[in-house]
Amino acid sequence: MRWFSSSRLAVVWTAALAVRSTAYDLDVNSEDSIIKGATLAADGMMHYYAGHLPGNTPGILPPPYYWWEVGAMFGGLIDYWWYTGNDTWNDIVMQGLLHQIGPDGMVMPKNQTTTEGNDDQAFWAIATMMAAERGFPNPPKDKPQWLAVTQTVFNLQTTRWDMEHCNGGLRWQIFTWNNGYTYKNTVSNGCLFQLAARLARYTGNSTYEDWADKIWDWTVESGLVSDDYRFYDGLDIPSNCSINHNQWSYNAGLYLAGSAYMYNITTGAVQEKWKTRLDGILWMAGVFFHPTQADVMYEAICEPYPRGCNTDQKSFKAYFSRWLAITTQMAPYTTELIMPKLRTSATAALKTCVGGTDGVTCGLKWYTGDWNGWDGNYGVGEQMSVMEVTQSLLIPFKTPPFTEVVGGNSTGDPAAGGAGDNPQLNAITDLSQPTGGQKAGAAIATLTVLSMTGYMVYYMVT
């Protein structure tokens, strides 16, 4: 119960008593205005977080937020610091990351065995990768280091690559007892693909490049991406590896940025191959911008419908923005296509931040912003999405991600978590299976959406 802290209740209360205040008028040409806009959204987001307070657990958000979203949020906050130079949240991020990563660096905390899938674990590893690439302060010497943690997760996940069903791929779940163990979802595989591409660039180790190729190829062969670069939700092993066709922005974003990293580190014909993919994904990513409010980002298969988006889905625009921005650094020729969309989206996004009695609570639907203000949605995902799309406007002024050779000094451990001593199996036998009543089901719960609205929505997007 302690999770329902006073700060959380305050947010719920203020949301119920909506007042209209003057919308934030973003000047996309002013660094100061961009920083103020991102800060406004970040402050609202951090009202929900109390993990650093006495009696609470670092790296945990109160319900309804699943564990993975905190890892995602810390990634967003690493970028917030890097973009704005404001280190207000750095200690909280350091503390929360280290607590959940654990002393072994495996990012498999025992408290999360009912919620942790491969995608959940990977969102934390994406945050540690960002920390290494951005030169975020290193952890104390006796703690796991950012690069080593990322490599540990990479090695754990590649040992989970499953050739027995559907010809390859990662399952959604790590543990057999969780719903979704028989599902192979695109986000788990897309996270591993992107981590492989980023580790390849950061370390120069070609093993990661080989994995990026292998994951891409399987994504194509399995039908999880179409010939015209639509990324679908996942496939179900028991029903003959058949595909759930829902399209989410973060899946496109994962493969977009991963392909941009691969494009950046390759040459000649191989680079051309990645460029073709990158261009294709970018073109099809147009489905995540509103058809009539041009260049305003939206989560196409949930925002416009009465059923709406679930807690997880409300945060997807944050990551899509993050990966669009990084794509302009890895493949600078995409800048002219991407930046106008980010600028228009950020301007519209901040117009929704007029909710609550604080008058600055952000909404979900940016495409109604100009004339409708706040749409009544509020939460971590809403705040994070506005923060990330806004801060991403500063990318043209920022140095590209560090590598081991240029700028970066995070210590790695390429063998950690690998197949050699099979810590994955040790970890699983170590953990007791939860009893039936505790099964929280899956974390990034896309399956429920399929059963409720799947095909209707699918046809509307395609």
Ligand X SMILES: *[C@@H]1O[C@H](CO)[C@@H](O)[C@H](O)[C@H]1NC(C)=O
Beta-ladder partners of 309: none
Is there binding between residue 113 and ligand X (CB under 6 A)?
no
Q: Given the rule CB under 6 A, which of 23-31, 142-150, 288-296, 408-416 is the region that contacts ligand X?
A: 408-416
User: How many residues can be counted in the chain?
Assistant: 462
Residue number with CB closer to ligand X (109 or 139): 109
Q: Does 86 bind ligand X (CB under 6 A)?
A: yes
Binding to ligand X (CB under 6 A): which residues in 375-404? Answer: 400
User: Nearer to ligand X by C-beta: 134 or 341?
Assistant: 134
- Asked if 33 interacts with ligand X (CB under 6 A), we say no
Check binding of 332 to ligand X (CB under 6 A). yes
**Candidates 11-19, 329-337, 347-355, 375-383; binding stretch for ligand X (CB under 6 A):** 329-337
Q: What is the dihedral of CA 357, 391, 379, 362, to 10 degrees?
A: 40
Q: Which residues pair with residue 236 across a beta bridge?
A: 183, 242
Cα–Cα–Cα angle for 411, 197, 385, rounded to 5 degrees: 90
Of the candidates 293, 277, 397, the one whose C-alpha atom is nearest the C-alpha of residue 335 is 397
Token pair for 312: 């997880």
By C-beta, is 129 or 301 nearer to ligand X? 129
Interface with ligand X includes 329 (CB under 6 A)? yes
Residue 39 found at the interface with ligand X (CB under 6 A): yes
Write out 132-190 in H/E/C secondary structure.
HHHCCCCCCCCCCCHHHHHHHHHHHHHHCCCCCCCCCCCCCECCCCCCCCCEEEHHHHH
The H or E element spanning position 235 is strand 234-236
Identify the residue among 88, 226, 311, 357 touching ligand X (CB under 6 A): 88
One residue of 207, 276, 426, 448 binding ligand X per CB under 6 A = 207
308 contributes a contact to ligand X by CB under 6 A: no
Residue 310 CA to residue 444 CA, distance in Å, equals: 10
Both tokens of residue 93? 């991020």
Sheet with 242-244, strands from edge to edge, namely 183-185, 234-236, 242-244
Q: Which stretch binds ligand X (CB under 6 A): 283-291, 347-355, 407-415, 423-431?
A: 407-415
Q: How many helices (H) and strands (E) does the chain have?
A: 16, 3
User: Under the criterion CB under 6 A, does residue 264 sit at the interface with ligand X?
Assistant: yes
Q: Is 338 in the site for ligand X (CB under 6 A)?
A: no
Should residue 413 be labelled a site residue for ligand X when binding is judged by CB under 6 A?
A: no
Which CB sits closer to ligand X, 20 or 110? 110
Structure tokens at 224: 């999880």
Rounded least distance, CB 436 to ligand X, Å: 21
**Rounded CA gap, 294 and 291, in Å?**
6
Please, what is the minimum distance in Å from the beta carbon of residue 207 to ligand X? 4
One symbol per residue from 176 to 195: x for binding ligand X (CB under 6 A), - otherwise; what is it?
--------------------
Q: Which of 205, 310, 311, 357 binds ligand X (CB under 6 A)?
A: 205
| Residues at the interface with ligand X (CB under 6 A) | 39, 43, 57, 60, 86, 88, 99-100, 109, 111, 135, 155, 205, 207, 239-240, 264, 329-332, 400, 407, 409, 414-415
